[in-house]
Chain A
Amino acid sequence: MSIEHLSPLVRGADETNDRRPGTPRRGSGFLDEPFTLGTTPSATVGPYLAIGLTWADGPFAVAEGTEGAVWLRGRVFDGNGALVPDAMVETWQADPDGRFAHADDPRGASTWPGFRGFGRSHTVEPAGEYGVLTLKPGRVPDGEGGLQAPHVDVSVFARGLLDRVVTRIYFADESAANAEDVVLRSLPDDASRQTLIAQPSADGYVLDVHLQECADQGMVETVFFAV
């Protein structure tokens, strides 16, 4: 049906004018792709994170005095080799049996009462180091029929980081397990692997985090992961 109008621009306007002939103008009313919402973008914690993110019990993934507990400690450095005094380090790990107190661990619940598995510590001066008291994790299946070496997943947050950065802590006294760990083996060279391996110390283990390389001071950038 045509419209009575003086202008041919109006009279001639019909569906043959579709810019993309053949494409439907109406949706079907059904989702033909998985429904997804866009995720909220991350932002930096900024310099004042201590207001909102300080927990008195943060460093204690396990209670003080627990048998076998070790301190994981280290400092965080920037690209000038300077201490980062306003970073927050969070740790997440399996219990000594390699299990997680979590519904998505298909092998069932952890049997280590009082073990939180999670630690949070700020690198506040004068010490300038993080410290988390925990139990050394056990080995966890790697999904390919083998076992991963004992490891701790680490998130680092700071002013100047627009998102967290993720790394791992492995243990120097687990060399046999480390040698067959799929994640460590996937790294290009031994220098990269060494950035993830904590060394034994007087009260546990020590591993520094280097946000960037600082060649002047012989510092290698820590391996960070995309999860």
Chain B
Amino acid sequence: MTGTPDRAPRPASDSALVLPRYLLEPEDRRTPLNYAGYRSTALRAPLRSPVDLPQRLTEVTGPVLGEDRLQPGDSDLTLRAGGEALGQRINVFGRVLDSGGRPVPGALLEIWQANAAGRYRHVVDNWPAPLDPHFDGLGRVVTDSLGRYEFTTIQPGAYPWGNHHNAWRPAHIHFSLFGTAFTQRLVTQMYFPGDPLFWQDPIFNSIPASARHRAIATFDLDHTQDNWALAYQWDIVLRGTEQTPFETDDDGDVA
């Protein structure tokens, strides 16, 4: 498999440029930029309304990134620096789809997370939980021809973060995806089902209630590995293109 999406180039049209148009999720199902409960938004989230940018060539294209971004071992975060990470081993798997239900093959996923104790390997994270010499929290995978991905890691821990008194982040894994167009770029976080910390976390609750379930993985016993690892499924949906509802012959006759 290569990093190139399995798509034929679109034929050049006679006069106008025929470009795909990427649909935008309704605003009440998208994470807003301003969310008062998350204090860091106050000085950083833009205050003016964004200006509509028509989708032209720059917006409907994007970097083609794939296998060439991977290093050996990138899909197993439990083996680093010659040893095994501590914690509950889990397989995380799923599909990357667009909103039309089409798989996104050859898509690069970049993943990062805290260790089992809830500590990131980063100079800014210095709360008194131990670092794990065999865990750096970085993973990368590329989806296969059906848009599937899978990686092995350890269950990340929760951690305090000072947003408000006794604030704790629910356990989560960060994901970064490109899709195939600038419009599809997505950075997000995957949560674990039933986390008792959801109710007090403003980053989770900034997602409109009707869309929060999309950020939570599903435990999947069938995908666990006996004597090895538990498993969570999480499908990721990127923006898709406008679809023709049905196709007819050019003369418009419907049989």
Q: Which residues of B contact A155 (CB under 8 A)?
A: 182, 185
Q: Which of B57, B121, B211 contacts A51 (CB 8 A)?
A: B121
B226 to nearest A CB, angstroms? 30
Chain A binder among B84-92, B94-102, B146-154, B192-200: B94-102
For residue A69, CB closer than 8 A to chain B, the reply is: no
Range class of the B interface residue count: 35 or more
A5 to B52, CA, bound (A): 63
CB distance from B22 to the nearest CB of A (A): 8
A53 with B44: CB separation less than 8 A: no
Question: Does A207 touch B at the CB level, under 8 Å?
Answer: no
From B13, which residue of chain A is reached at the shortest CB distance?
A: A106
Cβ of B62 to closest chain A Cβ, rounded Å? 6
A42 at the interface (CB under 8 A from B): yes
- Tell me how far the C-beta of B24 lies from the nearest C-beta in chain A, rounded to whole angstroms: 8
The closest CB in chain B to the CB of A119 belongs to B63
Name the residue on A nearest B234 (C-beta).
Answer: A40
Q: Does B203 contact A (CB under 8 A)?
A: yes
B63 and A45 form a contact (CB under 8 A)? no
**Which residues in B have some Cβ–Cβ distance to A below 8 Å?**
5, 7-13, 16-20, 22-25, 29-33, 35, 38, 40-48, 50-65, 69, 97-101, 110-112, 120-122, 124-125, 136-139, 174, 176, 180-183, 185-189, 203, 206-208, 211-212, 214-215, 236-240, 243, 245
List 24 contacting pairs A-B, 8 Å CB cutoff, sorted by A: A37-B100, A38-B29, A40-B215, A40-B237, A41-B31, A43-B203, A46-B174, A48-B112, A48-B120, A48-B174, A51-B120, A52-B139, A55-B69, A78-B44, A93-B58, A94-B58, A104-B20, A106-B10, A106-B17, A143-B54, A162-B38, A165-B33, A182-B54, A212-B45
